[in-house]
Structure 1
Amino acid sequence: MQLLDNPIRPYAWGSPTAIPRLLGVPPTGEPQAELWMGAHPGSPSLILGREHSLLDLISADPEGELGPESLQEFGPRLPFLLKLLAAQDPLSLQAHPDPDQAREGFDRENAEGVPLDAPHRNYKDADAKPELICALTPFEALVGFRPPEQTLEAVSGFGVEELEPLLAQLREEPNDQGLRAAFTMLMTAPAERQQAVVDAVLAACERNDHPDADLARRLGQKYPGDPGVVAALLLNHVQLSPGEALYLPAGNLHAYVQGVGVEILANSDNVLRGGLTAKHIDLPELLRILDFTPRATEVLLADEDGVYDTPAKEFRLSRFEVTGGSEVTIEPDGPQILLCVEGHVAARSELGKVDLTPGRSAWAGATEGQVTLAGEGTVFRAGSGL
């Protein structure tokens, strides 16, 4: 096993204090949004004390580091990316493509000659990007379209005339077709019409103490005039407690609002944005990949083995509570990254030992063998879902 030195992404929505507090280091004064652990070409982890990265290590011996099963399924690359995410402000309203959509979009933009680093490029690779977020602190998120009757019940009481055309779509078709029509009407309206609707909704929210009104007020303060402020009223508003998780499949429209969590995702960078952002928005492409099926959000808990069960083949996240009187044994199961978020835990394998403290992570390749955790603390394990 080898300790990792992980890059931090200073996105504007990040907390300036949450990640430094976990790592036990002074804040830099700038937002620190995400700590990346993995072999993503854009920001690979370094091997602590070495001059090479985890990406270099895997590239030099893909079968030894990844194992034959992962190599056959995903090729010579780590299929997952692990992150610490610290949101002080809302992230963009976004969704990710499924495998066929990602391949088609990537090939199309390549054929059109769109540079990979172009700000208006949608597809940076040919892969899907399912993801899971597990809360470390109280965590607030918008996740998927909620049943239309819930939106009608909450928003009809606002008394906003400008919302009536949108609500009429939901009353006429309280299903995925009505949601598609309402969302499309809102997001493709002329800018002056969008501004009028957002302003009217926010004015009504000042007179209302409904949780949806509070959410819209906060989004409106950050993104005045953005139609995503109103679109958020169509989505499930979820509050996670520490240890609870959400799985986000392809086509799920979502936005993390606030909180700190451990995120695991397929090793992809494909994001289609719809609002609450200054970044590139491609509404026709977003509308093409969105899943408008209304459904309640399923909050996941770890099973008796500590695993958050999802259908994703690219990743599997586990959470282990290590106590002083017992050890946790992790059987050999392909490549893995271990992340400590609390306490002090010693991780031992047939090939070595590392000490893990909050924010510190370690790489264990496929040949590492059985890993044993001992000490006192909380450790997350990231591996593939094969």
Structure 2
Amino acid sequence: MIPIRPVPKRYAWGSCDRLQSLVPAMRGVLGPLAELWYGGHPQSPSTVDIRGVEAPLDDMIRDDPDRMLGVVASHRWGPMLPYLLKVIAVRTPLSLQVHPLDFEARAGFHRENAAGVPLDARERSFRDVHGKSEMVVALDDFRASIGFAPIAMQIAALRLVDHDRACLMVWMLEGKADASPAADDAREADSRMPDAAVSWSAPARSVFRAFWVAVASDRDAGKSTDWLALLTAARERLDRRLTAGRMRDGAACSAGVAASPSFMDDVVRLMFDNAVDAARSFPDDPTVLALLMMNPVRLRPGEGAFITPGTPHAYIRGVGAEIMTNSDNVLRAGLTVKYRDVPNALRNLRPMPEPVRRPECFAGVDGVVYRPGLDEFALKLGHVSGAYADAPLDAHAFHETAGIVPPPECASRPRMLVCLSGELRCSGGTGTVVLRQGDAVFVPAADGSIVITARRNGGNAKTGGAYLLASTGL
């Protein structure tokens, strides 16, 4: 078990206190702190402490991959940790983005290298050759927009917005653009579709067209629009409709008549909440309209979501644990001051409306294991009981779990253990370490099984706490 120090990422959307309070070593960081990286990404590897000597984690793994990763993992992925664990704190909405597919990441990386774009350049989109899947597990209430909502909901939301761009998006979604004043826009959007579009359904093509209008159309270029005011007014109109509907439902129930369904309006209201929050940070950015096309997600502590390559998403607010394939490839389409790569975002976009994907959950008495169905990573959000136990877990973590299922054995896998609260005692074949809030260790595959328990203080008193345990999924 090797002590490890995370890499802090100071992005403008980060919280000014959440990660600083989680990790004592970060308390001196002033201003926004967005992410803590635990991993071996070549551009931002964590630092390990080997008997007082510090070294990058990726170098240590390359020196002895079979011991660090295990024979199976090192033969499968080579001398690199296949996952990257982050703890993120979102204070204001961050970019609308997609992650690349594997073959697009490889092609894009080599294309930018051939063009002489430095790896650390602002305009660099592909910083490695890996596609990117990720999973987020909420550590407190977490809000996001992920993937495309049913087309009927998209249309219902956009119709409330009094603007030509929103009207154009509705035409695209209704399949009426080819025979409308938007025909030229439809042809332009079609020219931006990737080769894979030949196999798309008509609804998927309509969604792509509408998304293109939100993020790429220059139809109203040069005009200044206060999107915050427009979206706020639209939400107020929706609220008046919801209030009137509830009054009618109340009267109907009193008369013994079944109430009218309001699920769609309630979801549309959540879509507007996310879009309005984004517009507060980016009031001049029309890409806020894209959030009215996307599933609004509310994760309670312990709930998770899985995001595949090509799925558009934007995090709105909250603290979460994020684990992903070991990649820093991000294709931003809007809602950011960073470099936008709309052409590549569109090339990788998956425009099919579908529900938000949830990882498989295996519930045990000491926490929940989340498995997205990939070999690269799995995550446990665990806790140990004692005099102090502040685990960010509640009944919501078990939302799709039938009974108590033993978590998969991960003794021969490379693991990352992060103490979220309290104090823990981690024991294994190579010794025992005590972890306090904010401490972390990398556990090589060769260390074998570990046991995480409450630490004993003087006498019989015990501490307790919560932790993250990341590993490969193999």
Q: Give the TM-score, by structure 1 length.
A: 0.92
Deviation at 1:146, TM superposition (A): 1.0
Alpha-carbon contact 2:61-2:79 (below 8 Å) kept: yes
In structure 2, the partner of 1:381 is 469
Corresponding residue number in structure 2 for 1:119: 122
Tell me the equivalent position of 1:192.
221
Cα distance, 1:330–1:340 mapped onto 2, change above 3 Å: farther
Structure with greater helix percent: 2
CA distances 1:243-276 after superposition (whole Å, capped 9, x unpaired)? 0011111101001111101111111111100000
- 2:358 touches 2:372 (CA, 8 Å); kept in 1? no
Q: Measure, in 2, the Cα distance between the counterparts of 1:207 and 1:338.
A: 46
CA distance, structure 2, for counterparts of residue 12 and residue 93 of structure 1: 15
**2:246 counterpart residue number:** none
Aligned to 1:316: 378
1:129-278 matches, within 5 Å, as: 129-160=132-163, 162-172=165-175, 175-190=203-218, 192=221, 195-196=224-225, 198=227, 201-202=230-231, 204-205=233-234, 207-208=236-237, 209=239, 210-278=269-337
Query: Taking structure 1 as reference, are residues 178 and 355 closer, same or farther at Cα in structure 2, changes over 3 Å only?
Result: same
The AA in structure 2 aligned to 1:363 is F
Give the letter aligned to residue 277 of structure 1: T
Give the partner amino acid of 1:204.
Answer: A
1:140–1:259 Cα contact (<8 Å) kept:
yes
1:73 aligned residue = 76
Name the SS for the 1:29 alignment partner: coil
Using the alignment, how far apart are the partners of 1:203 and 1:220 within structure 2? 9
> Distance between the aligned counterparts of 2:53 and 2:438, measured in 1?
19
Is residue 123 of structure 2 the alignment partner of residue 94 of structure 1?
no
How many Å separate the matches in 1 of 2:428 and 2:37?
A: 24
Change (3 A) 1:144 1:269: same
> How far does residue 4 in structure 1 lie from its aligned partner after superposition?
1.3
Secondary structure (helix, strand or coil) at the match of 1:303 reads strand
* Counterpart residue number, 1:369: 448
Question: What number of residue pairs does the alignment pair up?
Answer: 384
Superposition deviation, residue 382 in structure 1: 0.8
Q: Secondary structure at the match of 2:347?
A: helix
Match of 2:415 in 1: 336
Paired with 2:216 and 2:442, the residues of 1 have a C-alpha distance of 46
Query: Following the alignment from structure 1 to structure 2, what is the Cα–Cα distance between the partners of residues 339 and 230?
Result: 38
Cα distance in 2 for partners of 1:268, 1:221 equals 30
Q: Which runs of 5+ in 1 are unaligned?
A: none
Moved over 6 A (4+): none
The answer to whether the Cα contact below 8 Å between 2:274 and 2:316 also exists between their aligned partners in 1 is no
CA–CA separation in structure 1 for the residues paired with 2:15 and 2:229 = 30
CA contact (8 A) 1:320 1:378 kept: yes
2:14 aligns with 14
1:97-128 CA-to-partner distances (Å, cap 9, x unmatched) read 11111112122222333222222121111111
CA drift at 1:315: 1.1
Structure 1 residue matching 2:74: 3-state secondary structure: helix
| 1:350 aligned residue | 429
